[in-house]
Structure 1
């Protein structure tokens, strides 16, 4: 396996359609702008050869075996498959319902009122829809932050959906309506883990997902001990304003549970001391910028994480609210970080003359950073010979937005979108080609959409029209009108502005 430039060997028969891209047949991507991510920079007019499940070589004019299928990647950007480290996949069945929610309204919906309505078939529908959507958008690895697993049947439904799609997944097992110190060590969870997971399987892994409330008694200790006993990583919502705070971090530190195997989701409202502790123990942070900017966990913390040297990954959080693709996550993250730098400078009467966070950095966070957070950086996350072939070709000859490509990393972050994903390869198998999902994925997508419609009907019926509409369209309190030289409160006192001036 090599990254050296090689002479062109036997000419492969170009792939003329999806039928040429059969599993097990070598594939070469030709003449792409290759973002390897591991070494930085990029390879112009580069080739990537895939043999079996793995990347065989990266270079120019690569010699390839006879019978190799060729994908014309000219004019496109070939990048590692993206890695999402925090997605509540089951919630996708209620896509977009929370577009106008705050975090408190989300908590009220899921934790206090309606989270109990999710049936096993609803978990399956949401997971299947999210899994197909992720693949279609170039996300080849997803951590399913699945905190709706109230029963073993719910958990089996989640896994069945993930097994039915050709992506790489990690199920982060959680139960928002149960106490983690009870279910994590319970017989049902242990039996489920033994039945459905194989140690060393890099296509479907298992983690524990729970939060630390800051209770001085630290009841979550039992859940951490269960994770340690079973050799599982932990993902936890930390630094969520009003919910999880520095007390939880201190308790984890005091009891020895802050390790490199912990991912802190959001981490948006913590003290310097907590960031120091995360950095010192090798933890990683999953930033969901669209979520943090909209819901109120705190401002996206990348500017702080960079200061402390804490590794970053990116995530989309929930399709109940946001766009659920990592192009949007990269764009939101970079924009939020730079906006904060500008605002800080302006408040001091200064201006920013150098952008510290670069487009290449957020592409790395969306790929290799995510793989590292999941413990899969030796498997995926970069275009490196020997790694599994999880690849995404961003190419769209029908779109003027994809031409020209002058700054490849910047193009991925600011110009491209999910509609520009031409080819997706997972574990050496092409699952999307020519902007179309292949194999069983289209059937799974149709089934997921139909099942999600059933979930919507179920929730709407169980909640009743009034509650359903209130959830979808949360009301606002009356606001005082803002008066100014051109706007006045109307004399009848109804609060509606009365315009005065020329033409009134």
Structure 2
């Protein structure tokens, strides 16, 4: 069949018209692995074929991907998207300051329109940076009106999103029992593009009141995402309650999972649970040491996440790089403590690419639909290609290149559900202005409600003075000359 050999323009990408990436290095994250000079044909919402010199339908658009790496769209399994409206505000916080700001002092300030603004900007940023699926750990949904605002943002950005419905200012056994919440859930049918989970935590307690929330999730066929193994907040006691109650299944994602005991990791592994690792968050905020070095010992499936842009950006290349580096750093430290050395790194770049793609799909229960470049799966794709970037040549080890060399500036194309949302480094029909303006109004409102003093103090937490260490060594002039 003949094809359109001229380079396509954004206006050429119309619904229903097939297109093919030609001559790419394809990281399938599936059998047969990495393919050189390969083609990927997209027809409708799905990947139709993967191979060399594919025969394609009449009128297929051709994208020359020579010198580029085509990989599955990345998947973030834990992001508090609404907090993107205060991007970078808490960059100097420790976790305690985060809790104080949102949970104790200013959480009630935020309105539904603030949730919408943060979600809109975060959703746009997700697809712009090649994160084609994002789980919104939306723990500020005090009423269904807030949930409607979160979903409204998703309807305006054509990415793939999962709403993790949560309410950190209420008890999960209470808000999941509220008639208005149950009515909202009953009126929303999850789809491949807009999924639904329940998001809540299980802090230490004797009587396990969160049991009622787990029961609601199970009765309604909803997966649960929960922060676990967070130092001083969610401990092994929570895992014990969940396991004894029969709620630990492959429907549960444990976020962070950094400070758990051997027995807790074994329980997660035995019940098929997954862990969402947010390395930059764990390194900076203090939930515990990033857990991949433990998870791989127990055979626990890991995915990656960015946590919140009140601290960090949505740069998923940074997430992969930090995760691989943290795992190797810990492995070296553990070896050195025993007087040994590491002769081969156990966690490899391809493992982290898997976490960023198939690991995320598995965590969301969507491994049969997304996460790899496999014929029949949804066409969620990312082309990393930049002819003007010194870091993009030569490409010798594609997985390592994605993790340690490439960056967001090298994103050429982003495809979600067969729709091209970014091409030649530019978004198609997704203007920043609406999100920027909504966030500006949200920031103005929140700042006015806090007051200027509280606003400034919240951004710059006070530090206790350092205790000086006595130094017996002093520089002295030699007077004998």
- Contact residue 54 and residue 427 of structure 1 kept, 8 A: yes
Shift of 1:15: 3.4
Which residue, 174, 189, 193 being the options, matches 1:198? 189
Judged with a 3 Å threshold, the aligned counterparts in structure 2 of structure 1 residues 466 and 59 are, in CA distance, closer, same or farther, namely same
Q: Is the 8 A contact 2:3 2:61 kept in 1?
A: no
Mapping 1:292-371, distance limit 5 Å: 292-371=282-361
Partner of 1:457: 444
Please state whether the residue corresponding to 2:91 is helix, strand or coil. Answer: coil
- CA change 1:472–1:486 in 2 (3 A) is farther
CA contact 1:141–1:167 (8 Å) conserved in 2: yes
Question: What is the match of residue 476 of structure 1?
Answer: 463
Aligned equivalent of 1:287:
277
Structure 2 segments unaligned to the other structure (5+ residues): none
Contact 1:13 1:67 in 2 (8 A): no
Aligned residue number for residue 219 of structure 1: 209
> Residue 238 in 1 paired to residue 258 in 2?
no
Where in structure 2 are the equivalents of 1:126-275 lying within 5 Å? 126-195=118-187, 197-199=188-190, 201-275=191-265
1:57 correspondence with 2:40: no
- After TM superposition, list the pairs within 5 Å mapping 1:94-133 onto structure 2: 94-133=86-125
Aligned-pair CA distance for 1:325: 2.2
Residue deviations 1:368-405 (CA, integer Å, cap 9, x gap): 10001001111100000000000000011121111111
Q: TM-score, normalised by structure 2?
A: 0.97
Partner of 1:38: helix, strand, or coil?
A: coil
Q: Quick one: distance in 1 between partners of 2:423 and 2:171?
A: 44
Q: Aligned to 1:350, what secondary structure does the other structure show?
A: coil
Give distance in 2, aligned partners of 1:326 and 1:185. 36
Residues 3 and 62 of structure 2 are in contact (CA less than 8 Å); yes or no, is this contact kept in structure 1? no
1:90 aligns with 2:82: yes
* Partner in structure 2 of residue 438 of structure 1: 428
**1:194 Cα deviation after fit:** 2.7
Verify the 8 A CA contact 1:486 1:500 in the aligned structure 2: no
Number of aligned residue pairs: give it. Answer: 478
Secondary structure of the 1:312 match is strand
Alpha-carbon distance, 1:215 to partner: 1.1
Match of 2:36 among 38, 44, 65: 44
CA distance in 2, matches of 1:482, 1:407: 47
CA drift of 1:110 comes to 0.8
Q: Could you list the runs of 4 or more consecutive aligned residues of structure 1 that deviate by over 4 angstroms after TM superposition?
A: 499-502
Aligned twin of 1:81: 73
Q: Structure 2: how far apart are the matches of 1:187 and 1:432?
A: 41
Partners of 1:132 and 1:110 lie apart in 2 by 24
Structure 1: segments with no counterpart, 5+ residues: 1-8, 488-498
Distance (Å, rounded) in 2 between the aligned partners of 1:257 and 1:315: 23
CA distance in 2, matches of 1:343, 1:262: 31
TM-score (norm 1): 0.93
User: Among residues 430, 442, 447, which one is paired with 2:434 in the alignment?
Assistant: 447
